[in-house]
Structures are given as C-alpha cells and as structure tokens.
C-alpha cells in the first residue's frame, strides 16, 4: 500500500470534484505498493516575466529513487479540438496540454532551485475517468500518457510502467521535504509514540504557518494555545528552520514520552529533552553524578543545576519551551538562561492542560499570541468540551475531520469496568481502526489505576512502558496490541482512536474538567469514554 500525504484524508468531508479526487486517491493508495508515496493537492506558484502562474496538481507520485510523476485528473466530458484536448470552465475553454505543461515547468523550476540544480526525473499523466478519447493521436499528449474512461481500471498499472519503483536514493528524502513544504505540512510531533508511520497534519492556517511571520526584536513569543492548535508543530518548524540556517536549537518539554518522540523526528544538530534531562546534563557535565535513589532526588537535581553556570556548549540560538504550563516558575528561569542574547525564544503553553497546579511563569515584555482553533480533534469531541469548559474559555472546532460521535460506556464495579474497557476497544476495531491506532488511557495515575495493572484484557494484549530505556535512550515497551498509558504520561501525544477509562469523580470541578480535556483531546478521530455511573450522571447532564 502506498504512503499518502497528507494522512487522515479518509476522514475528511468532501463533495463535488474533491470527492472524485478522494476516490482516485483511494485507488492509488490501494493499487500502488509501498515503494511509492502519493502527494495530494500540491499547490505551486511560479513567477516568470513578471506574470504569476498559479496552478494545482491533483497528485504527485514519487518512487524510491525520488523520481516524480505529475497526475492531472480531469473529470467530466472533455472537448477534442484541433489543438488537442480542452476543458470548458464556465464558458472559458482551456487547453489541457498547455495547463499540464505549465504545471510541469513550474514544478521543475521550483524543485530545481530546491535541489540546487541536481538532475531530476519528472513524468506526467492525464487521467480522465469520465471521457473516452476518440482521437488519441491528436489529443496533444502522447497516447501512453493518457488513461481515459476505457482504461481507468489500469491507472496504477500504467503509473508503474512509466515510473518503476527504482532503487532507494537519498534524493527521495529531499523531494519529500520539498513537497511537504509546498503542501504546507508539518510533522505532527504529538503522533502516537512508538508508531512507525509518520503522522502529518495540514496546518496552513495554523501556528506553524503564521506565528513564524511575526517580526520581534528580540524574538520573544509566548503562545497560549488550546490543544490541537499546532503548538508542537510550530516548535518543530522552528527547530527545523534553525538547523537549516546552520544554528543550534534547544527543545525542552516536561513529559519524557513527548521529548523522546520529538527527538526521533527532529533533524540532527540540536538538543531535544525534558527539563530534568537538561538539568541532568548540566550536572554530569560538571562532574557530578546524580543519585536518583535518595528522597527528593529531582528537587536536588534542579538545585544542583541552578548552582552551576551554563557552559558555552549549552547555549543555543533558538530555545523552544513546549508544555510551558507544566513548568514551575524557577524552571522557566533555568531553561531561558540557555538562550544566547540574540536567540529566538518561544514559550508554548495551554493553561487548560495544567495538571500539576504550577502557577503561570511570568514573562514580562514578551509578545503573547492566543490560538483557540483546534485543528486536530474531531468536531464531536470539541462540542463535548465546549459544554463543560468555563464560559470564558474559548475553543473552536476547525479540524477537517468529521469524526464519529463520542461514545459513553457506563460501569458499576471493577468487573463491569473491565468488560466495558474491552467493549470500548472492540468498538474501535469495529470502526475500522487497526491495533496500532488505538490507545487505552486511564483517567487515574499509574499507581492507582486498576486497568494499568493488567497485561491482557480478554483477547486484547496491552502494550505498556516498562520503566526502562535502551542503550539509545529510548523507552522500552512490553509486547502487546493496545498502547496503555495514564492521561498524565500521554499528555502532548495523540492517537487516532482513544478509549479513556476509569473516569470517576464525585464533582465535576476544575481539576476534573482539566483531566477530561487532556484525555479527550488525545483522540484525532474516535473517542470512547468508559465512566462510572456517578460520573456519567454529572457529565451527561451537562452535554
């Protein structure tokens, strides 16, 4: 199965021409092997002789060698004129070969600049699923470059004939980076930890696109954004830009799983770690070995790091603090001293995800940017949250994902709890999600959770963090089908389908709302909530 960029297209709402493109996208995804990547809706611009040419390629297909095929899809009836195939757009007739030629030239020029003149292969193909070309020799395109209605079932076979898989080549990585930039995509650093496939999200209207357009001297930007607004995508965009500019970035967050995942997808050349990992590095570099067996070991670690001067090799040109709401004020001061005077510094936070009760860090004189649009969570999840959040808190449903309605499973007692958890997982599988797409999250902490104590629930084996790390510093997980975590540890991450369980409270107060908010916004497509009878009574009467 071919890789498709952007991911999540199966859940986007579409009608008209876009629906037809999605139908073709499904054919390409299923009909091409994993030697190919399919990029959908690649927009491009080219300026030549003071005239701007704007266009849109329907599909770009790239093989392992980094060679491209541009596929133009023309639905409906075409006109066969003396000058070749043409399409009538509301009374204006446009030449299909000319359109395709301009598109190919635009891509070739722009990609050529990105590759510094390195040679490339760009093929082209016209796909007209509703029109049978009667005169292929006068169509203005080579007959072998046309797949019409009579041969539409052979689309993938024709693509593979013209563009064989090829041998793996580093060029493919550079082409991928170029096309992702053109689509205005950023890798979603909140993707499910340990999941091999890349998760991406369209954030053309989000933080990663426009927050970086702000000009401040010195650059000190505080972003207060809701879950799913693109804060971590912005962090990754800043981190990449620093590396591309020959600078050293520092990314710091609170949660170890998020830091590990960010480090795994970020380019080499900077440092990505948790706050305590940064303190540990400072202390060890000074020749001290922290003893984590003593009481208050982490408090002592912070105090020891605070007593040290920052060495020159731990000063950075860009400093990014993610999950800033989880930082105690003194932690903020310690991290920010790692920024050079001329450094770009970003502080990213969401007060609604403050589960540890730290007061906000004071950042006087900083420019503050507020982001209330949630690009990640399905609209039914956002509607649920809007019903329980304080009236002065704003969150907007802007995700392109339609999403299923939130499902509630009520339990009484431990035995019913386990049965409802199994039912929640079954509902996710029944909706078409794979084992690796589902995360089981406990509303309770690791020490007090009953569900996290199990290695198996009926037919479902649970994949859990063992508490150990391998030689590369990566977390070690047990074998299992369903990733199982506490909400606290999974904060900053996401999964396509989430079963949030052990939801139980006597009152729906501020802390309970915060936990529900964090847990619910981990789901990008489907959410199932397993809750006690008393919690159900309090929650369901509010929605």
Give the burial class of 378: count Cβ atoms within 10 A of its Cβ; 0-12 exposed, 13-18 middle, 19 or more buried: buried
Q: Which of the residue ranges 34-38, 431-435, 509-513 would you say has the lowest mean pLDDT? A: 431-435
Asked if 64 and 2 touch (Cβ cutoff 8 Å), the reply is no
Report DSSP letters for 128-146, one per residue.
Answer: -TT---S-GGGSSS-GGGE
Closest Cα partner for 266 from 288, 289, 243?
243
pLDDT score of 3: 87
CATH architecture of residue range(s) 204-374: 3-Layer(aba) Sandwich (3.40)
Query: Which pLDDT does position 182 carry in this prediction?
Result: 65
Q: Name the helix (H) or strand (E) containing 410.
A: strand 407-411
3-class DSSP state for residue 75?
Answer: coil
Contact, 504 vs 487, CB < 8 A? Answer: no
Residue spans of the domains in the chain: they are 3-179, 204-374, 401-540
Residue 507 pLDDT > 80, yes or no? yes
Query: Tokens representing 79?
Result: 């006109």
Q: Which residue has the higher pLDDT, 268 or 374?
A: 268
* pLDDT over 70 at 199, yes or no: no
98 pLDDT exceeds 60? Answer: yes
User: Which pLDDT score is estimated for 319?
Assistant: 98
SS3 call for 353:
helix
CATH fold for domain 3-179: Trna Endonuclease; Chain: A, domain 1 (3.40.1350)
Mean pLDDT of the chain: 86
Mean pLDDT across the stretch 344-373?
A: 93
CA 280 to chain centre: 29
Taking Cα atoms as reference points, which of 385, 388, 408, 407 lies closest to residue 396? 385
Residue-wise pLDDT for 442-499, tens only, equals: 999 888 899 999 999 999 999 988 877 776 656 788 899 999 999 998 988 888 899 9
pLDDT for position 108:
87
Percent of the chain with pLDDT over 90: 53
Cβ-in-10-Å burial (0-12, 13-18, 19+) of 102 comes to middle
Tokens (6 digits) for 241: 């830009």
Condensed to tens digits (0 to 9), the pLDDT of residues 19-46 reads 788 889 899 999 999 999 999 866 554 4
**Whether residue 15 has pLDDT greater than 70:** no
Backbone angles phi, psi at 259, to 5 degrees: -60, -40
Question: What does the pLDDT read at residue 201?
Answer: 43
Domains 3-179 and 204-374 share a fold: no
Burial grade of 244 (CB within 10 A; 0-12, 13-18, 19 or more): exposed
Say if residues 442 and 50 touch (Cβ distance below 8 Å). Answer: no
Query: Roughly what angle, to the nearest 10 degrees, separates helices 275-285 and 297-306?
Result: 60
* Residue 189's pLDDT band (cuts 50, 70, 90): very low
Q: pLDDT tens across 237-253, in order? A: 899 899 989 999 999 99
CB 521 within 8 A of CB 376: yes
In the predicted structure, residue 400 carries a pLDDT above the cut 70: no
Determine whether 358 is exposed, middle or buried from the number of CB atoms within 10 Å of its CB (0-12, 13-18, 19+): middle
pLDDT of the residue at 132: 92
Integer CA distances (angstroms), 290 to 251, 287, 335, 534, in order: 22, 10, 19, 45
User: Can you read off the two tokens belonging to residue 405?
Assistant: 């309605």
pLDDT at 289 over 80: yes
Q: Between these two residues, 13 and 170, which has the higher pLDDT value? A: 170
Question: What CATH architecture is 401-540?
Answer: 3-Layer(aba) Sandwich (3.40)
Cα 226 from Cα 62, distance rounded (Å): 35
Is 91 or 39 the better-scoring residue by pLDDT? 39
Q: Indicate the pTM of the whole model.
A: 0.66
Cross-strand bridge partners of residue 251:
272, 320
The tens digit of pLDDT for each residue in 329-351 reads 999 999 999 999 999 999 999 99
Q: How far apart are CA 329 and CA 333, in angstroms?
A: 7
The tokens for 183 are 């689509």
CA angle (248, 233, 177) in 5-degree steps = 75
CA pair distance 66, 46, nearest whole angstrom: 22
Mean pLDDT of 6-20: 60
Q: What is the mean pLDDT of residues 356-374?
A: 91
Predicted local confidence at residue 22, as pLDDT: 83
What is the DSSP annotation of 197-235?
S--EEE-TTSHHHHGGG---SS-EEEEEE-TTSSHHHHH
């Amino acid at each position: 199965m071919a890789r498709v960029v952007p991911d999540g297209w199966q859940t986007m709402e579409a009608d008209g021409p876009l629906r037809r493109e999605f139908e073709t996208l499904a054919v390409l995804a299923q009909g091409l092997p994993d030697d190919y990547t399919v990029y959908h809706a690649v927009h491009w611009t080219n300026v030549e002789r003071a005239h701007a040419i704007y266009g849109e390629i329907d599909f770009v297909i790239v093989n392992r060698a980094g060679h491209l095929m541009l596929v133009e899809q023309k639905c409906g009836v075409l006109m066969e004129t003396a000058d070749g195939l043409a399409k009538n757009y509301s009374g204006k007739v446009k030449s299909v070969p000319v359109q395709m030629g301009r598109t190919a030239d635009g891509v070739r020029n722009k990609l050529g600049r990105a590759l510094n003149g390195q040679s490339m292969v760009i093929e082209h193909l016209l796909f007209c699923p509703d029109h049978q070309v009667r005169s292929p020799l006068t169509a203005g395109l080579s007959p072998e470059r046309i797949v019409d209605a009579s041969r539409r079932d052979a689309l993938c076979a024709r693509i593979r004939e013209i563009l064989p898989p090829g041998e793996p080549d580093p060029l493919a990585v550079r082409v991928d980076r170029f096309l992702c930039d053109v689509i205005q995509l950023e890798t979603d650093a909140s993707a499910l930890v340990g999941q091999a496939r890349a998760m991406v999200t369209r954030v053309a209207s989000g933080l990663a696109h426009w927050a970086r357009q702000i000009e401040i001297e010195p650059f000190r930007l505080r972003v207060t954004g809701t879950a799913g607004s693109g804060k971590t995508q912005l962090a990754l965009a800043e981190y990449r830009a620093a590396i591309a500019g020959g600078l050293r970035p520092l990314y710091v967050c609170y949660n170890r799983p998020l830091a590990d995942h960010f480090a795994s997808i970020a380019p080499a050349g900077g440092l990505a770690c948790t706050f305590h990992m940064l303190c540990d590095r400072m202390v060890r570099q000074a020749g001290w070995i922290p003893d984590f067996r003593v009481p208050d070991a982490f408090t002592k670690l912070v105090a020891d790091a605070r007593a040290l001067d920052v060495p020159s090799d731990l000063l950075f040109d860009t400093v990014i603090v993610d999950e800033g709401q989880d930082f105690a004020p003194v932690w903020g001061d310690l991290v920010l001293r790692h920024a050079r005077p001329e450094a770009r510094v970003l502080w990213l936070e969401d007060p609604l995800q403050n589960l540890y009760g730290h007061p906000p860090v004071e950042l006087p004189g900083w420019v503050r940017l507020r982001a209330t649009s949630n690009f990640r969570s399905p609209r039914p999840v956002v509607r649920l949250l809007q019903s329980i959040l304080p009236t002065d808190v704003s969150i907007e449903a802007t995700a392109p994902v339609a999403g299923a309605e939130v499902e509630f499973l009520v339990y009484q007692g431990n035995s019913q709890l386990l049965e409802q958890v199994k039912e929640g997982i079954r509902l996710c599988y029944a909706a078409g999600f794979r084992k690796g797409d589902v995360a089981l999250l406990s509303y309770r902490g690791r020490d007090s959770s009953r569900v996290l104590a199990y290695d198996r629930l009926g037919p479902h084996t649970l994949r859990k963090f063992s508490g150990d790390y391998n030689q590369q510093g990566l977390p070690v997980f047990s074998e299992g089908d369903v990733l199982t975590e506490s909400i606290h540890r999974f904060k900053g991450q996401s999964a396509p389908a989430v079963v949030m369980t052990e939801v139980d409270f006597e009152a729906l107060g501020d802390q309970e709302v915060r936990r529900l908010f964090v847990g619910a916004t981990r789901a990008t497509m489907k959410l199932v909530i397993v809750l006690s009878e008393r919690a159900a009574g309090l929650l369901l009467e509010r929605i």
